[in-house]
Structure 1
Amino acid sequence: MAEPRPGWVPRLVALDIDGTLLRWVEGSGQTREEVSPAVHDAVRRVLDAGAHIVLASGRSPHGMTRIADLLDLRGQPARGDADTPGGEDERVWVVASNGAVVFRYPPVEVVLEETFDASAAVAEVLRHHPDAMVAVEDRGVGYRVNKPFPDGELSGEMRETSLEELLGEPVSRVIVRDPEATADDFVALAARLGLHGTDYVVGWTAWMDLAPVGVSKASGLEHVCQALGVEAADVLAIGDGRNDLEMLRWAGRGVAMGQAVPEVHEAADATTLTVDEDGAAVEMSRYFPAAAEEASA
């Protein structure tokens, strides 16, 4: 695995949430909404050193603000001309919906939203999985769904409606979920279909995110970096899922969590410990060590 050049320190740290910052609840496909002290302290050291922390997730915006609050995120001056009189812009940058939405927080201010017509792609998937559940984001509220998802899988409220209404206008992200299938089933299906006109990501379970072509966490982070005057070469990105592949390849240093699937390890420059072992904190501490670690170095 590649090592960073001697003396390299990231100017921006991009962090996936589920499986990277938050631990999985075994067998449920859900994560605990708790940040470990080690991860919280490592994030604090990154911020105190003047670097940026950017959350980058497949979650919708309203599913990410609580995590930003748990981490006590704050902004840093951008190019020396921050928005606040004290010289520091307290709002942070967040990449949501696998890169389709970029927003500032607090409060939520969407600065970029990529949308597309997902109707044809969803119809193709449903032809093979006719009983699948479909959801689109209902920003600030939750999701509109064709049928209820299992408890805890979607953040916010669920509003049941018809497929025609769900897909009657451009959307930033569509979720297709089939509890009777496996992730491998969806990987094989996506490969067979080609899904022309859209990009896709398959999660740990039979869960598929459909997004506009060319949109990923990497494209969302590129937008943030341009606003902050940061190069991709100065970014440390950490993630564990298939929706992190582009981000890990794009960043100056991409690091896979220890429990990640094989293709994520292959895309990354290095692998850290698992989420249960606070692997994200271990990686951040290489560049932003605690005072005791510095003293013993």
Structure 2
Amino acid sequence: MFKLIVSDIDGTLVGHDLQISPRVKAAIAAAQAKGVTVTLATGRGAEPTERFAAEVGITAPLVCLQGGQVFDPITKRTLYEARLAPEILPWIDRVATERGWHLHFETPRMVYLPEGVPSPEVLNDLFSVTATKRVSNFVAEVTEIPSKFLIAVHDPRERDEIMETLRELIGRAGLPVQLMVSHLQFVEGVPPGVHKASGLQWLITYLEIAPSEVLAIGDNDNDVTMLRWAQTGVAMGNASPAALAVADWVAPSVEEDGVAVAIEKFVLNGGD
């Protein structure tokens, strides 16, 4: 019997229009009415995650920033967080500036973007529900240690090249940061050991729930850890090859209300 349902947001709970469908809302409400806890696990920060959670009546702590933050939407408290090592910000700022990469930093409540540099369209969509601040000098103006950095590309074909270059540079510098992919146009850097499964492990310990009681639903490479970790990992029909490869079951796409179909199958209809 599942006691916890975890859903990713982008590409899973919502599509490009950022709208949660009536069927998905109804399925989440029905699961909660049965006493099942529902939460979200996402690369987004607390503020936008909280907005999506409120729309579907989720009150459980939320796993944000790729597992680097667990946030309680009721008390507005961060229960757990991991931050990048202080030396990462000036290092990646220099590396990105030298190569003309579009860099930004995220903290639990703010996204810092470069001033005077047009953002790729995908970032405008992503941050339409997020507090942002444009700065002229990251090192001088980002006054708190970031939770992660993100490099966005205009052309998805650039992503893998940047990933490879960064891996080499990080290895050469011996820096404590790990890279992950959450989108065709993103490369993200987070503290070592941080991923969605690590954030969820902290959460279930807090909630006194076992991994064998968790249903996880996601669509991208950054969901792989939680799909493997959960008792049942569900990949969306629109999922990346990496997510599909580790899934126990494949749901319809986000446009076909895949989250609702998964909840109906495994929770509301008893796995039938």
On whether the aligned pair clears a TM of 0.5, the verdict is yes
Give ranges in structure 1 of 5+ residues lacking alignment. 1-8, 25-31, 75-91
Equivalents in 2 of 1:240, 1:121: separation in Å?
31
- Matching of residue 156 in structure 1 with residue 135 in structure 2: no
CA distance in 2 between counterparts of 1:219 and 1:165 reads 31
Is 1:131–1:178's contact at 8 Å kept on the other side of the alignment? Answer: no
Give the corresponding residue for 2:195.
Answer: 216
CA distance in 2 between counterparts of 1:16 and 1:136 reads: 21
Deviation of 1:205 after TM superposition, in Å, equals 2.7
Structure 1 position 191, deviation (Å): 5.0
Tell me, yes or no, if structure 1 residue 183 matches structure 2 residue 159.
yes
In the alignment, does 2:18 pair up with 1:12? no
The 3-state SS of whatever aligns with 1:263 is helix
Name the SS for the 1:152 alignment partner.
helix
**Percentage of matched positions with identical amino acids:** 27
Alignment of 1:36-51 (within 5 A): 36-51=21-36
Cross-structure match for 1:134: 103
CA spacing shift, 1:173–1:211, aligned 2, 3 Å:
same
Instruction: Return closer, same or farther for 1:255/1:125 CA change in 2, 3 Å cut-off.
Output: farther
Report SS of the residue matched to 2:78: strand
Q: How many angstroms apart in 2 are the aligned matches of 1:251 and 1:189?
A: 32
Q: How many equivalent pairs are there? A: 258
Query: The residue matched to 1:21 in structure 2 has which SS?
Result: coil
| Alignment root-mean-square deviation, CA | 2.4
Consecutive unaligned residues in structure 2, runs of 5 or more: none
Deviations 1:145-189 (A, max 9, x none): 234534333222222231323677632111112325533334443
Q: Letter of the aligned partner of 2:160 in structure 1?
A: D
Structure 2 counterpart of 1:182, one-letter code: E
Q: Deviations along 1:262-296, whole A, 9 cap, x unmatched?
A: 1111122221111111111111101333xxx79xx
1:269 aligns with 2:252: no
Q: 1:271 to 1:186 in 2, by over 3 A?
A: farther
Of residues 57-66 and 188-197 in structure 1, the stretch that sits farther from structure 2 once superposed is 188-197
Structure with more helix by fraction: 2
- C-alpha displacement at 1:95, in angstroms? 0.4
CA 1:139–1:208: 2 relative to 1, 3 Å: same
Query: Equivalent residues in 2 for 1:283-294 (5 A)?
Result: 283-289=262-268
The residue matched to 1:69 in structure 2 has which SS?
Answer: helix
Residues 82-231 of structure 1: pairs in structure 2 closer than 5 A:
92-117=60-85, 118-119=88-89, 122=92, 126=96, 130-140=99-109, 142-147=110-115, 148=117, 149-150=119-120, 151-154=124-127, 155-165=130-140, 170-180=145-155, 182-193=158-169, 196-231=175-210
Counterpart of 1:99, as a letter, is: G
Structure 1 residue runs of 4 or more that deviate by more than 6 Å after TM superposition? none
CA distance in 2, matches of 1:34, 1:107: 26
Looking at structure 2, the residues matched to 70 and 269 of structure 1 have their Cα atoms a distance apart, in angstroms, of: 28
Query: Shift in Å at residue 211 of structure 1?
Result: 0.6
Matched position secondary structure for 1:255? strand
Q: Call closer, same or farther: CA 1:254–1:121 in 2, change over 3 Å.
A: farther
